Amino acid sequence: MSYDAWILLTGSLVGLTCGVTGALLVLRKMSMLADAISHTVLLGIVGAFFVTQSLNGLPMFIGAAIVGVLTAFFVQMLDSSGVQSDAAIGVVFTSLFALGVVLISFVGDSVHLDVEHALMGEIAFIPWDTLNFQGMNLGPKAVWMLGSVFLINILVITLFYKEIKLTTFDPQFAVLLGIPVMFIHYLLMGMISLSTVASFDSVGAILVVAMLIVPGATAYLLTDRFLVLLILSGLIGILSAITGFAFAVWSNVSIAGSIACATGLYFILAFIFSPKHGVLMKKIRNDKFSSSQP
Amino acid sequence: MNALSVQNLTVTYDKTPVLQHVGFDIPKGSLTGIIGPNGAGKSTLIKAILQLIPRTSGDIQVYGKPYHRKRRLIGYVPQRSEVDWDFPTSALDVVLMGRYGHIGFIKRPGKKEIQMAQEALRKVGMEDYQDRQISQLSGGQQQRVFLARALAQDARIYFMDEPFVGVDAATEKAIIQLMQEWKDEGKTVLVVHHDLQTVEDYFDHVLLLNKSPVGCGPTQKVFTMENLKQTYGGSLKFIGEHSVVLQERV
């Protein structure tokens, strides 16, 4: 596959994985937790490096998943002991991220791990960091990571579909039925952490938030069905990756930046033109209503 | 036999007790109204019994067994404001959620469950709205979706939290009909209620509550002027309006 095709595939996988998983966060009104986790997983990555002395995929995933779930846990803990929930997120996320920033400065120059890379990523380098098996080039590592995380997420969503749906819509009723609400919560946080780490190299910690939240928020304006919303969110993620990449190549600008901009563009389009929830249709409906009533 | 037995239930928010040493028994097959002034802890009581909020102390028994072992027997109609009705789902899907506890972990609702949910919707007169997104239903219709979900739970003890608030006449009728039906089937119903005028029409049992129980038992015995005064304390004027109703009965 060509260099461009690999980047396009990587971007699409980021859009798909983050879109589907992030939509769940949007529905649970926990978008800011995605922001928090996307930053704190840096600590997990650095931590994994100090333990294994390598930037290998698997330990990095485990470290990130642990810190991601810990982030959610600390936020929950502060929240339930009386700290405002937005303040709880602010405190936990900045302190854990700061700890990651401090630790990262102990990492030598020989290793490709620095704050700027973590924050911004660089999808243009992805095709060169390949996975090799017995001398065979199996394509970029990022594609394998994203693909695995996507499959894990889909598996979890399929298995716990009705539990995820109920705990999102009516958590109290879920408790009443004996569904382990907290387990589902941390399962989702784990999925968010994995998606973030897998997307790290490509789009970085800041733009991954756009990929997690904006497609879900866009799909929310377009459909009234839970399952359709998840699928649509993933598709919007892919569409954003394709159009963003095309624009970046055409005008020679940051690829990750234009992909994130594309998500914003689709959101604005849906916000205005959505047949059900768009402001334009609402206005037309209101005008009709007021003109029919003298 | 007592369907529900509550002993020494205390709930505390930030060191302020909201419910103190609440104890009462509810006989099987009764329709109980939980009555008390605002802030008396009526909704808190239900939620504490259902273990939806933490409690400081208290022992809850359902049919003589600890609550957690009889969870399946419990049905619940929460206040409408407890959920976000903009959630992307249909009326039928919400009713199906009533079956989730029976379906078991991981498994999907099948044909049988869908039929049960549709039957429940039909019973509350909502069969034409099964595919409607829930935000496009009126307040009364939303309440009936919650009723249908409770119906689909096929429980033995039902808890309802202010079901009559802000509903239309059709929904009110549906609620009363359903309560009567449950009672006839030997099921037990507990309803948080605030309209003193209708207490005697709806309920054969009352629990008068103001942080701790003032009285609990058959309506004829417990729903008296004296008990009401004690429950509502200083708000005598409020009671004055209803004293007519009480005197007529005597």
Of B78, B84, B88, the CB nearest to A229: B88
Q: Is B5 on the interface with A (CB under 8 A)?
A: no
Measured in angstroms, the CA of A231 and the nearest CA of chain B are apart by 13
pLDDT of residue A293: 56
Q: How far apart are CA A221 and CA A212, in angstroms?
A: 16
In chain B, the percentage of residues whose pLDDT exceeds 70 is: 93
In DSSP terms, A130 is beta-bridged to A140
Identify the residue with better confidence: A109 or B186. Answer: B186
Measured in angstroms, the CA of A277 and the nearest CA of chain B are apart by 11
Identify the residue with better confidence: A125 or A24. Answer: A24
Of A27, A173, A178, the CB nearest to B97: A173
What confidence tens digit (pLDDT) does each residue in A152-204 have? Answer: 999 999 999 999 999 999 999 999 999 999 999 999 999 999 998 888 878 88
Sheet arrangement for strand B74-77: B74-77, B157-161, B188-192, B31-35, B205-210, B212-218
- Lowest mean pLDDT of A97-111, B26-40, B219-233, name the range: A97-111
Residues of B in contact with A29 (CB under 8 A): 84
User: Which of A81, A160, A162, A285 to mutate to probe the B interface, most B CBs <10 Å?
Assistant: A162
**Among chain B residues, CA nearest to A158:** B106
Residue B128 located in a structural domain = no
Cα atoms in the 13 Å half-sphere on the side-chain side of A41: 33
pLDDT of residue B247: 43
Residue B125 located in a structural domain = no
pLDDT of residue A156: 96
Instruction: Tell me if A166 and B97 make a contact (CB, 8 A cut-off).
Output: yes
Measured in angstroms, the CA of A64 and the nearest CA of chain B are apart by 26
Residues of B in contact with A176 (CB under 8 A): 50, 52, 71, 74, 76, 101
Residue B107 located in a structural domain = no
pLDDT of residue B235: 55
- The dihedral of CA B71, B173, A170, B161: what is its sign? negative
What confidence tens digit (pLDDT) does each residue in B2-29 have? Answer: 899 999 999 998 778 889 899 999 999 9
Measured in angstroms, the CA of A203 and the nearest CA of chain B are apart by 30
Identify the residue with better confidence: A57 or A42. Answer: A42
Residues 28-87 of A with CB under 8 A from B: 29
Measured in angstroms, the CA of A238 and the nearest CA of chain B are apart by 22
Could you give the ipTM of this predicted complex?
0.89
Q: How far apart are CA A244 and CA B28, in angstroms?
A: 65
Total domains present in chain B: 1
Q: How far apart are CA A193 and CA A187, in angstroms?
A: 10
Instruction: Tell me if A176 and B100 make a contact (CB, 8 A cut-off).
Output: no
pLDDT of residue B183: 92
Identify the residue with better confidence: A228 or B71. Answer: A228
A267 by Cβ neighbours in 10 Å (0-12 / 13-18 / 19+) ranks as: buried
A283 by Cβ neighbours in 10 Å (0-12 / 13-18 / 19+) ranks as: exposed
Instruction: Tell me if A170 and B78 make a contact (CB, 8 A cut-off).
Output: yes
The DSSP code sequence of chain A is --HHHHHHHHHHHHHHHHHHHHHHHHHTT-HHHHHHHHHHHHHHHHHHHHHHSS--HHHHHHHHHHHHHHHHHHHHHHHHTT--HHHHHHHHHHHHHHHHHHHHTTS-TTSS--HHHHHH--GGGGGGSEEEETTEEEEEHHHHHHHHHHHHHHHHHHHTHHHHHHHHH-HHHHHHHT--HHHHHHHHHHHHHHHHHHHHHHHHHHHHHHHHHHHHHHHHHH-S-HHHHHHHHHHHHHHHHHHHHHHHHHHT--HHHHHHHHHHHHHHHHHHH-TTT-HHHHHHHHHHHHHH--
**Which range has highest mean pLDDT (A44-48, A129-133, A139-143, A208-212)?**
A208-212
Structural domains in chain A plus CATH codes: 3-122+137-213 (1.10.3470.10)
Residues of A in contact with B158 (CB under 8 A): none
What confidence tens digit (pLDDT) does each residue in B102-161 have? Answer: 887 788 899 999 999 999 999 999 999 999 999 999 999 999 999 999 999 999 999 999
Residue B34 located in a structural domain = yes
Residue B206 located in a structural domain = yes
Residues 39-78 of B with CB under 8 A from A: 47, 50-52, 71, 74, 76, 78
**Among chain B residues, CA nearest to A277:** B86
Helix H, strand E, coil C: the string for A204-262 is HHHHHHHHHHHHHHHHHHHCCCHHHHHHHHHHHHHHHHHHHHHHHHHHCCCHHHHHHHH
What confidence tens digit (pLDDT) does each residue in B74-113 have? Answer: 999 999 989 999 999 999 999 999 999 888 778 889 999 9
Q: Is A170 on the interface with B (CB under 8 A)?
A: yes
* A97 has a pLDDT exceeding 80: yes
Which residues lie below 8 Å from residue B237, measured CB to CB, with a gap of 6+? none
Residue B121 located in a structural domain = no
Q: How far apart are CA B21 and CA B207, in angstroms?
A: 14
CB atoms within 10 A of CB A108: 6
pLDDT of residue A187: 93
Of A168, A179, A224, the CB nearest to B100: A179
Residue B73 located in a structural domain = yes
* B240 has a pLDDT exceeding 80: no
CB atoms within 10 A of CB B219: 21
Q: Is A224 on the interface with B (CB under 8 A)?
A: yes
Of A160, A176, A226, the CB nearest to B89: A226
Instruction: Tell me if A161 and B87 make a contact (CB, 8 A cut-off).
Output: no
Residue B89 located in a structural domain = no
CB pairs under 8 A between A and B: 71
The domain that holds B221 is classified in CATH as 3.40.50.300
* Rounded mean pLDDT, A85-109: 87
Instruction: Tell me if A178 and B105 make a contact (CB, 8 A cut-off).
Output: no
pTM, two decimal places: 0.89
Range of the domain at B38: 2-82+155-249
